[in-house]
Structure 1
């Protein structure tokens, strides 16, 4: 389980700092995979061989799961810390850097109509592998998918100092689901 977040921790990695948030959850939308495919094709055109893998992650990648209507994509970049190797091309296409931390950059595009979070990690990074294991377990298990939806609806009723605190509050359920998937970091 990750260490507890603090505003100081978040302000150190969030480019625009901590922002109060109200999380909106909506029922599954069958257009989400289409939106992902459109952005994935765009990313392949922008990044070419620098994109070692492109995956649809997060709740919008799980058929039938309610979600924030934000497409989450992860791209495997050999060295996300070498920003000059890829960030200028993404920024020229309209992507805005939101998070900078070692071996991870998160960018945003498409607001307000079709928002996308783009996570850049090395291709075999533990976080990328964890995202995929979690997604695949939710796709495979109705019980886990329903449990995760339940906690998301419950937590969305609250106001958050930042959306990252909402994500942190989901972690105990995420850990249970990863355990059901047989997830191991090694």
Structure 2
């Protein structure tokens, strides 16, 4: 999957998905690159939701809505995927309410929304890496240094210590 130029529909798709899923969670937000107007992205609507306990997630209700569980190596997180008839993909990351305020995905999104110069730096890097490497591990690794820098800045602005952006 390659990155696409910013699409005005992404915000509405994220908002609609959040509205549909909201009754199942304590909180839910559109995160990731498609949540940042003006940022090129893989055409995937990333959502992050919180629950008190991961064992309480209503997987049956999610499956009814088209979300399928996917195994992940990410600790303290459940991951679900959905693909619509028009090939719109959704990734749902479910985390605990305890970790919600300090989730890097949310902090980075908020930083990019309020720092257009950083958004533009990130956009340029994404385009450059996609042109050079195409999708895959080299593209992802190439973004790591800048994502870490921007996430560290977002965390520092909230008085939070830096943490690695990629979960072990």
| Fold equivalence (TM over 0.5) | yes
Partner SS, residue 103 of structure 2? helix
Q: Mind listing any 5+ residue stretches in structure 1 that lack a counterpart?
A: 1-22
- Cα separation, 2, equivalents of 1:55 and 1:69: 17
Per-residue CA deviations over 1:48-99 (Å, capped at 9, x if unaligned) read xxx111111001111111111111000002222x16x421221222111123
- Cα separation, 2, equivalents of 1:42 and 1:170: 32
- Cα separation, 2, equivalents of 1:30 and 1:62: 10
- Cα separation, 2, equivalents of 1:106 and 1:164: 20
Deviation at 1:136, TM superposition (A): 1.0
Q: How many residues align?
A: 156
TM-score, normalised to structure 1's length? Answer: 0.74
Deviation at 1:164, TM superposition (A): 6.1
Aligned to 2:63: 91
Higher relative contact order (CA 8 A, sep 6+): 1
Tell me how large the CA RMSD over aligned residues is.
2.3
Structure 1 residue ranges, 4+ long, deviating more than 6 angstroms after superposition: none
Within the alignment, does 1:108 sit opposite 2:108 as a pair?
Answer: no
Within the alignment, does 1:152 sit opposite 2:123 as a pair?
Answer: no
- Cα separation, 1, equivalents of 2:58 and 2:150: 34
Deviation at 1:179, TM superposition (A): 2.8
TM-score, normalised to structure 2's length? Answer: 0.81
Q: Mind listing any 5+ residue stretches in structure 2 that lack a counterpart?
A: 163-168
Compared with structure 1, are the counterparts of its residues 99 and 168 closer, same or farther at alpha carbon in structure 2 (3 Å cutoff)?
Answer: farther
